[in-house]
Amino acid sequence: MPSGLVKVTEGTTDLLVPESYCRGGPGTRTGEVFYNKQMEFGRDVSVMFGREVLQEGQRILDGLAASGARGLRMANECGIRADFMLNDRDLRAAVLMKQNAELNSLGHVAVLCRDLRALLAEEQFDYIDVDPFGTPVDFIDSAIMSCRNRGVVAITATDTAPLYGTYAKTCLRRYGALSSRSPFAHETGLRILIGFAVREAAKHDRAVEPLLCYHTDHYFRCHLRIVNGASRADAALRHLGFLFYDAKTLGRKVVESRDKKGTAGPLWLGPIISKELVRRMRATGDLATSARCSRALEVWKEEADMPPMFFLMDELARRTKLAPPRSDEFVEYLREGGAKASRTHFDPKGIKTDLTAAQLMQRYRRFAKRKRS
């Protein structure tokens, strides 16, 4: 074992990583090659996604690869013969990913040590993974330009405080969008990030189709299909809008502009999960977090065709002064009454529905009182 390194296993892939690797939370730059154990769920999702979406012979780039964890897992576990490439501008990272490739008998995986933006300016890929420290805004434009027609750009963002609305000014500078604090701020943040990618793509007459976008732990993750065509780009732009949240009535309303305090946007108001795709994805037993993946797939399937934004059981309880029943029971009750309703991955106490806030509160009162008696 090279000194200062330890071996960890994720899925069926072995990785040498620095001894002092991050075991949980967002992780910080330590000066060593970065590896965060907590992100193994996200890498499992990349493997499940890759098994369904990647194709033989494609050019697949893990653009900010660090130890190579994500790209090597995809090369090793997706079962696809393709040109896998790992890149990191840090030479120590490039040396470590080479060792990790050999450790897994993946000598054919190419290792590059370039600035990602320079690499993207020169070459084209079918899949580009952008997993930076903090915000991905520096790389989104170049990744979209370098992506082949109908290819995928997969983005991680860990700059959650600006996107949640805690640092709204930073969000405005970075994403050209206002974030706002609300019970559903995690979803607003994700939709601001997608909206930003949609606008970046539109500049180049390209459209973004969200395939699987989610929030978990301390990060956002988007898998976006990039499609050529000015009219498709225009159609994607039509899914952008602003959202006003009224804490008094709990109302969530799509509005024309961001003039009113409490409005977030521009943000993406279209679908964020392809139901057809998540139906095909499988949480197989060889994944590192297969039970968690299976639960996530169930919820993603449920919420895929629900309207944007969710309600929290706690805000309904506060507003009605009635203790919250179990959210899954309430979802069932709403469905029995003919409404559309589902759980949401954004929050275990969140529910999505096509009812207005007023209609929802009326049903909540009825149900909570019935449960009490």
Ligand X SMILES: C[S@@+](CC[C@H](N)C(=O)[O-])C[C@H]1O[C@@H](n2cnc3c(N)ncnc32)[C@H](O)[C@@H]1O
Under rule CB under 6 A, residue 115 binds ligand X = yes
According to CB under 6 A, which residues from 206 to 245 bind ligand X? none
Distances (CA, A) of 161 to 91, 217, 218: 31, 13, 10
Minimum distance from residue 30 beta carbon to ligand X (Å):
11
Per-residue binding string, ligand X, 23-42, x by CB under 6 A, is -----------xx---x---
13, 58, 67, 342: residue in contact with ligand X (rule CB under 6 A): 67
Minimum distance from residue 13 beta carbon to ligand X (Å):
11
Minimum distance from residue 64 beta carbon to ligand X (Å):
3
Under rule CB under 6 A, residue 13 binds ligand X = no
Nearest Cα residue to 143 out of 134, 156, 133, 158: 156
User: Nearest 10 degrees: CA dihedral of 37, 41, 46, 49?
Assistant: 170
Nearest Cα residue to 66 out of 159, 194, 156: 156
Number of residues that bind ligand X (CB under 6 A): 19
Under rule CB under 6 A, residue 98 binds ligand X = no
Under rule CB under 6 A, residue 125 binds ligand X = no
Distances (CA, A) of 373 to 199, 367, 368, 370: 52, 10, 9, 5
Residue 22 per-residue DSSP state? B
- Judged by phi (left if over 0) then psi (alpha if -120 to 50, else beta), residue 133 lies in beta
Minimum distance from residue 137 beta carbon to ligand X (Å):
12
53, 54, 61, 69: residue in contact with ligand X (rule CB under 6 A): 69
Under rule CB under 6 A, residue 65 binds ligand X = yes
Under rule CB under 6 A, residue 89 binds ligand X = yes
Minimum distance from residue 281 beta carbon to ligand X (Å):
19
**Residue 371 in tokens:** 């449960």
The 10 Å Cβ neighbour count of residue 234 is 12
Minimum distance from residue 63 beta carbon to ligand X (Å):
7
CA distance 100 to 310: 42
106, 116, 147, 288: residue in contact with ligand X (rule CB under 6 A): 116
CB hemisphere CA count around 15 (13 angstroms): 28
Whether residue 242 contacts residue 259, with contact meaning beta carbons closer than 8 Å, is answered with no
11, 13, 50, 70: residue in contact with ligand X (rule CB under 6 A): 70
Minimum distance from residue 20 beta carbon to ligand X (Å):
15
Nearest Cα residue to 197 out of 282, 135, 110: 135
Torsion sign, CA atoms 298, 218, 353, 53: negative
Under rule CB under 6 A, residue 306 binds ligand X = no
Minimum distance from residue 215 beta carbon to ligand X (Å):
17
Stretch binding ligand X (CB under 6 A), from 126-134, 251-259, 327-335, 347-355: 126-134
45, 60, 64, 293: residue in contact with ligand X (rule CB under 6 A): 64
Give residues in contact with ligand X (CB under 6 A): 34-35, 39, 64-67, 69-70, 88-90, 93, 115-117, 131-133
